[in-house]
Amino acid sequence: MKQYAGIDVSLEYSSVCAVDADGRIIREAKILSEPDALIASARTAWRWSALVWRPAPCRSGSMPGW
């Protein structure tokens, strides 16, 4: 079954959402914004042993001034 994930990265925590091929949400999580934490979450809690990276539209920039 194909699954897709998106990550919204912030300074302290990142929000991760995974959906299946039909767009149904499989899992959502808030994870520390550190590479080791993101990798550990993908491999343990999500049971993803092999990730395939695909290019996707990306929006980046500084956080807006509140």
28 is a domain residue: yes
Domain containing 38: what range?
3-43
**What are the tens digits of pLDDT across the range 2-17?**
778 788 888 899 998 8
| Partners of residue 11 on adjacent β-strands | none
- Closest C-alpha to 41, from 11, 2, 10, 13: 13
Segments of the chain with pLDDT less than 50 = 64-66
39 is a domain residue: yes
56 is a domain residue: no
Structural tokens at position 45: 């809690």
13 is a domain residue: yes
Structural tokens at position 21: 């091929």
Domain count, the chain: 1
Radius of gyration of the chain (CA): 13
Its sign, for the CA torsion 37, 39, 44, 47, is positive
Determine the pLDDT at residue 17: 86
